[in-house]
Amino acid sequence: MDNLEQLEALCEMLYNSLDSAERAYAENTLKCFSQDTSCIPQLEYILENARNPYAVLFASSSLLKHVTQNMLPLQLQLQIRNHVVNYLASRSANLEHFVATSLIQLVCRVSKLGWFVDDKFQELISDSLNFLNQQEAAHYAMGLKVLNQLVSEMNRPTPGLPLLLHRRVVSKFKDKALRQIYGISLTSLHGLKSDAQQKLQELALSLSLQCLSFDFMGSSIDESSDESFIIEAPVSWRSVLEEPSTVQIYFDYYAVTSPPLSKLALECLGRLTLVKRSLFTSGTTRKLFLTSLMMGSKDIIETGKGLNHHDNYHELCRFLGRFKVNFQLSEVVSVEFYNSWIGLISDFTLKSLQSWKWTSSSIYYLLELWSKMVTSLPYLKDKSTNYRLDEFVPKILEGFVSSRFDSVQAGFSDDLLEDPLDKVELMQDQLKFFPYLFRFQCESCITYLINAMDPLLQEYMDGTKLQEYVTSSTVVLTETKLAWMVHIVGAILSVKQYTGCTSNEVIDADLSARVLQLINFMDTGSYVQRYGELSRQRLELAVLSFFENFRKSYVGGQSLHAAKASACSAVCSVV
pLDDT tens-digit readout, 248-260 = 999 999 999 999 9
The predicted-structure confidence for 471-511, as pLDDT tens digits, reads as follows 788 888 898 899 999 999 999 988 877 766 666 788 888 89
The Cα-based distances of 81 to 75, 86, 90, 116 in angstroms read 10, 9, 14, 15
Choose among 483, 442, 560: nearest CA to 568.
Answer: 560
Segment 312-337 shows an average pLDDT of 93
The predicted-structure confidence for 270-301, as pLDDT tens digits, reads as follows 999 999 999 999 999 999 999 999 999 999 99
Cα(287)–Cα(293) distance, rounded to whole angstroms?
Answer: 10
Cα(233)–Cα(212) distance, rounded to whole angstroms?
Answer: 9
C-beta atoms surrounding 300 within 10 Å? 24
Is the pLDDT assigned to residue 523 strictly greater than 80? no
Burial group, residue 524, by CB count within 10 angstroms (0-12, 13-18, 19+): exposed
Q: Which residues of 111-121 are buried (b: 16+ CB within 10 A; e: fewer)?
A: bbbbbbeeeeb
Cα(488)–Cα(400) distance, rounded to whole angstroms?
Answer: 10
pTM attached to this predicted model: 0.89
Is the pLDDT assigned to residue 415 strictly greater than 90? no
What share of the chain in percent tops pLDDT 70?
89
Task: Answer for the pair 225, 274: CB distance below 8 angstroms, yes or no.
Answer: no
Provide φ and ψ at 432, rounded to 5°: -65, -20
C-beta atoms surrounding 244 within 10 Å? 11
Domain ranges (residues) in the chain: 382-555
Helices and strands (H, E) in the chain, number of each type: 30, 0
Q: Could you give the residue ranges of the DSSP H alpha helices within 304-355?
A: 310-321, 323-326, 329-333, 338-354
Is the pLDDT assigned to residue 195 strictly greater than 50? yes
Q: What is the DSSP string of 18-71?
A: S-HHHHHHHHHHHHHHHH-GGGHHHHHHHHHH--SHHHHHHHHHHHHHHHHHS-
Task: Answer for the pair 373, 418: CB distance below 8 angstroms, yes or no.
Answer: no
329 versus 540: the higher-pLDDT residue is 329
Cβ-Cβ contacts under 8 Å for 122 (sequence gap 6 or more): 111, 115, 176, 177
Is the pLDDT assigned to residue 528 strictly greater than 50? no
Segment 222-239 shows an average pLDDT of 75
Cα(521)–Cα(545) distance, rounded to whole angstroms?
Answer: 18
Provide φ and ψ at 344, rounded to 5°: -65, -40
State residue 311's pLDDT score.
95
Is the pLDDT assigned to residue 416 strictly greater than 50? no
The Cα-based distances of 533 to 224, 362, 470, 536 in angstroms read 37, 31, 10, 5
Considering only 70-79, 350-359, 457-466, 544-553, which range has the smallest mean pLDDT?
544-553
Q: For the chain, what is the mean pLDDT?
A: 88
C-beta atoms surrounding 341 within 10 Å? 20
The predicted-structure confidence for 301-312, as pLDDT tens digits, reads as follows 999 999 999 999
Burial group, residue 94, by CB count within 10 angstroms (0-12, 13-18, 19+): exposed
Choose among 379, 387, 499, 510: nearest CA to 453.
Answer: 510
Is the pLDDT assigned to residue 550 strictly greater than 80? no
Task: Answer for the pair 78, 121: CB distance below 8 angstroms, yes or no.
Answer: yes
SS3 annotation, 518-533:
HHHHHHHCCCCCCCCH
Cβ-Cβ contacts under 8 Å for 110 (sequence gap 6 or more): 67, 77, 80, 81, 84, 121
Considering only 17-26, 345-354, 500-509, which range has the smallest mean pLDDT?
500-509
Give the alpha-carbon dihedral of 557, 562, 563, 568, to 10 degrees.
-150
Task: Answer for the pair 266, 253: CB distance below 8 angstroms, yes or no.
Answer: no
Cα(68)–Cα(300) distance, rounded to whole angstroms?
Answer: 46
The predicted-structure confidence for 116-144, as pLDDT tens digits, reads as follows 899 999 999 999 999 999 989 999 999 99
Cα(427)–Cα(442) distance, rounded to whole angstroms?
Answer: 21
Cα(16)–Cα(274) distance, rounded to whole angstroms?
Answer: 46
The sign of the torsion formed by the CA atoms of 93, 96, 100, 101 equals positive
